[in-house]
Amino acid sequence: MRLFVSEGAPGSLPVLAAAGRARGRATELLISTVGPEECVVPFLTRPKVPVLQLDSGNYLFSTTAICRYFFLLSGWEQDDLTNQWLEWEATELQPALSAALYYLIVQGKKGEDVLGLIRRALTHIDHSLSRQNCPFLAGETESLADIVLWGALYPLLQDPAYIPEELGALRSWFQTLTTQEPCQRAVETVLKQQGVLALRSYLQKQPQPSLPEERPVSNEPEEEELATLSEEEIAIAVTAWEKGLESLPPFRPQQNPVLPVAGERNVLITSALPYVNNVPHLGNIIGCVLSADVFARYSRLRQWNTLYLCGTDEYGTATETKAMEEGLTPQEICDKYHTIHADIYRWFNISFDIFGRTTTPQQTKITQDIFHRLMARGFVLQDSVEQLRCERCARFLADRFVEGVCPFCGYEEARGDQCDKCGKLINAIELKKPQCKVCRSCPVVKSSQHLFLDLPKLEKRLEEWLGKTLPGSDWTPNARFIIRSWLRDGLKPRCITRDLKWGTPVPLKGFEDKVFYVWFDATIGYLSITANYTDQWEQWWKNPEQVDLYQFMAKDNVPFHGLVFPCSALGAEDNYTLVKHLIATEYLNYEDGKFSKSRGVGVFGDMAQDTGIPADIWRFYLLYIRPEGQDSAFSWTDMLLKNNSELLNNLGNFINRWELVRG
């Protein structure tokens, strides 16, 4: 094993102290001191210490996880109280302590400016020690919680001025640990006799911590968050529990194909189609696939007649550029990554009835039929569009075939359709310093004829449909807001064609060299995927009176599902089933940054498998942090804590106790 620590990194204190306990019980441990900006873990996006590299080649880079590993090697046995302290340290102590240390060491503040931030946490520790009348946090002997909290607090409490006089139990606890040899050696290694000033260089390179939010002081009792159950409801629950699983109705037999049944509740569920050009990351998985899977399982438990479908979105510039990068044809890229997607979702136990793809004859047939119906009813316009063209490659540069400087934020690697940094949609000709992504030459501006969906002409129909659909339906607040904001600004004609070779062909004279843009035909993929599953697909997709359509996605897909496809379907006048319940999430970030497929930032599906962590633990944690009302972030440290506190402590103990009760 090899332990990487850094002088001046506070997290090195507890891991070195914990390592001291494991000496002689572990395989040979090599301790290496690295600079604070040295990247030790190859798959992390920013430097992080401490890090423990195991003999297997795997890495632990959570301070608490490393300490836990050393304690387990030393023969320590886990207990509930220790795990509760560790969760409190991560969620309550660390936010306050990080701000206090930043004030003290970086900004040079002293006294109550610093102590005021941490006093509440220190008092909590002192009172807990006093109530137990024990020398350590979890009892009579030192535990993992003592070392983790001591290491976190040492930079502050090594100055006695920051231990209030009335907190005698805290002072005794801190002094007892500080005099132990492993802790003394850790202090010598990390602080190098410079005191807390040794931490300044490291802390200056870290993001400024935000101040912990204070709860308002009030004499009024806190409002009850959950409704109180009545005695009757409790009695019903107890009776149902005592009857056991045997009393439940049997699952409805699985039909193949699953088709709507007259007189029953027929539920059609879709997950937004993931792009086929890369491996899905955790944000993709929770944003649509896992969320829809949970609802599909719920629907089946309710005995509803349920069809759950998804598939890979395989057309567009992203596929062509990926094919160029890997030296494959677009079809070969689609075949390769469709299999990867299917394998990952299978490992995550996603219960699709259908997992299809959009590169099929049915996709072409249904898309072209909808287009012909729109064209015949006067909902398609033709206009000239200025585009970037690469003379060297002899092609128009649609979307991801061009990169340049974002006109809004100045980001130097913005694409021709959107900027990854600021998130704004871009017209390719607006890019500053544009370059062809293939040959890096500077393109010229030329005109090309394109087709547009006449959204202004369809706006009234859309408004009427929304007026009937939204009341009583489950559209998430962000989905309602996004659609209303588009309507508030007034709909504009949207281009539905592109100068590409890889896509659904446009069946119109003079446009044979163009394909449909994903804005138009990607959502039609749900229909074609169902059509490849059963030739009776219209029973689902042309049956709005008997089918409830639930669609799950991240918020960036809302305009396609809540506006573009409904307008296309309403204009086609062919009795299509439209979305009744549109469930959109916010974004899941990775640690302190964004997931990025193109830059390989984050945890991807194949990586999750390689960790050895069971799929159900990933499912649990992703659902726990699901970004419903606001963006949330995946954190390795938090995942470890939630696994220990929620699954092992709460759920695990509940099951164990129930087994004891049952005898």
Predicted TM-score of the model (pTM): 0.73
Q: Are 584 and 479 in contact (CB under 8 A)?
A: yes
Q: What is the mean pLDDT of residues 347-373?
A: 98
Report the CATH number that the domain containing residue 35 is assigned in CATH: 1.20.1050.10
Supply the pLDDT for residue 222.
43
Residue 391 lies in a domain: no
- List strand residue ranges (DSSP E) for 368-506, in order: 380-390, 395-396, 402-405, 414-415, 432-436, 444-453, 494-495, 497-498
The pLDDT tens digits of the residues spanning 53-81 come to 998 888 888 899 899 999 988 888 878 88
pLDDT value of position 663: 56
pLDDT tens-place string over residues 341-353: 999 999 999 999 9
Asked if residue 521 is part of any domain, the answer here is no
State residue 58's pLDDT score. Answer: 86
Show which of 442, 466, 495 is a domain's final residue: 442
User: 321: closest CA among 512, 502, 497, 448?
Assistant: 502
Q: Where are the alpha helices (DSSP H) in 498-594?
A: 518-521, 525-533, 538-541, 558-559, 565-572
Bridge partners of residue 380, in order along the sequence? 453
Rounded Cα gap, residues 230 and 223, in angstroms:
18
- Interval 493-523: pLDDT, tens: 999 999 888 999 999 999 999 999 988 999 9
Provide the pLDDT confidence category of residue 227 given band limits of 50, 70 and 90.
low
Q: Is the pLDDT of residue 600 over 80?
A: no
- 98 assigned to some structural domain: yes
Give a yes or no: residue 646 inside a domain. no
Has residue 536 got a pLDDT over 50?
yes
Domain boundary among 204, 222, 237: 204
Would 281 be classed as within a structural domain?
Answer: no
| End residue of a domain, out of 148, 180, 204 | 204
| 137 located within any domain | yes
Strands annotated E in 158-316: 266-271, 305-312
Write out pLDDT tens, residues 154-194: 999 999 999 999 999 999 999 999 999 999 999 999 988 78
Does 197 fall in a domain? yes
Asked if residues 565 and 533 have their Cβ atoms less than 8 Å apart, the reply is no
Name the domain count of the chain.
2
pLDDT tops 90 at residue 212: no
Residue 99 domain-assigned (yes or no): yes
Query: Which residues form the domain of 121?
Result: 2-204
**Is residue 532 helix, strand or coil?**
helix
